[in-house]
Structure 1
Amino acid sequence: MAGLLGAVKLLETSRMRMPSIGLGTWPMKGAECEAAVEGALGLGYRHLDTAEMYGNEVEVGRGLKASGLKREEVFLTTKGWWDKSTGPALRAAAEASLDRLSTPYLDLYLIHWPSPQMDLPGLLEALAKLQQDGLAKAVGVANFPAGLLSRALALGIAPIACDQVEHHALLSQEKLLKVCAAHDVVLTSYTPLGKGRVGEHPVVAGIAARLGVMPGQVALAYALAQGPRHGAQVSVIPKAAGTARQTENLGAAGVFLSEADLAAIDALPKDQRMVNPDFRPNWND
């Protein structure tokens, strides 16, 4: 186990340092969430992801405190909901998240979703100010397609360090990865297991059986591999409440996929989107 924990890569860019495997916490709540966070940190996780909308920031903060780890040992991300369409609203949301998490700073603060009503320059100015004031070590966005991310970067207002999006073996983000690679932006993959569907695919299950690992580990290893394959950096944040699944996900860091394995998974459908709310942006942007 120690070897697998030590295999988790630390992604380093000009804007931040982030462990490549983190713990996603949606939709965990209450005591389950607190226990999951404390347990994951005990296993060796050093990257936690939450959001205002998840309604579990208090529990994530409690789990972090209960772990006994120093605050600076854990990379903590949270996000402001899409209805915060102005800079002042986003600033207030970030401050409220800090209070709920009982932390003096965040390692990464993201705009959770873009909205048609958003004041993009104002939001980016709020992000830049959060970083300048020491409330967030790094800032970024989530669910920004390639075109929107490019426009946000072109404004040059905030040092965007990350774009968190749905990304897995059944949903390509090749266009976005190119933008991330060109601008030193980390792509963080949420739903990296495709809600379990990736591991259920016979091709993925077959590769896992041959390698003697779990299908979910192959799914995560494939998502992580898209970073170096595109000259970019990719992290994954699978949700897991129990010790067995948390251990399994962390162990994906030690799974090596050959070029033949990668090519076989490349051939799977790449248009299977699992998260597609009514307020979504134009994914083809």
Structure 2
Amino acid sequence: MTQATGGAGAPVYGFVGLGVMGQPMALNLARAGTPLVVWNRTPERAEPLRAAGARVAASAAEVFARARVVFVMLVDETVTDAVLGRGGPEFAKLVAGRIVVSTGSAAPGYARGLAADIEAAGGRFVEAPVSGSRKPAEAGELVAMLGGAPDAVTEVRPLLGPMCRETVYCGPAGSGVLMKLAVNLYLDTTLAALAEAVHFAQRQGLDLETFRAVVDSGQLASGITRVKVPMLAAHDFTVQAATADAYANTRLIADAARAAGIATPMLDLSSDLYGESVRLGNARLDMSSVLTALEARTDTGAPPVTG
């Protein structure tokens, strides 16, 4: 395959997956002047990229044909395998001579297996899962946790500048996603606890603006409290990070913990709440919809529905 070039012979880079996180990440690349070719399963998600100067491909294969480095931000492992044609005859044709940069969440074993398959096919693999939700993605304030061979990471790292405030090398393939799971354990349990605190304050008749002011004036203040407390107070569940994705992440973390014999009692309780919120119909709403699971428990006084 021959890689296309942009203006003045500049290399073209690829981006596959333009969802809640992928679209703003790719837009930051395009707006920074990175020659970019993109593709998404839902074509209309690519239109803002076209307006920003990116080339919109007709297929993922076209992206790989035109770009030597391809960022992949897809919803889960099954979709990633399907888009890459993993396990089929087209996989090697797609990834040979390419660096595949996976920016989504995955199980560590999956990341290591994908890295091995890409390398066996003549490509290279870098994992760069990111910490942050839609607003940090829009602002280029994500944190990437890098894993892979040092030479491939060194080549990819400068490209992350328009998308990420920090890039941290964590070790070989699998290390980046393990770090992401550790960070997400903190995030998921923290947000569930924050939602519970808001629920408690509201049901006790406290003014939630005053609650926000107290929290944000003290040592618990953070980007999470500044963004999520107003959302929780207003029942505004406009998606920044989807509840279904948060629930899936808690299950990934729990699986990795069980495999290593690690107890995660706070995670397990939080996971139950995210699962309840999903079953209440909030799968594609923001993960702060976990508040509704707490409200349902209070209002019914009944044990949560599981399964």
Fold match by TM threshold 0.5: no
Select the structure that is richer in helix: 2
TM range (shorter): 0.3 to 0.5
Which structure: larger Rg?
2
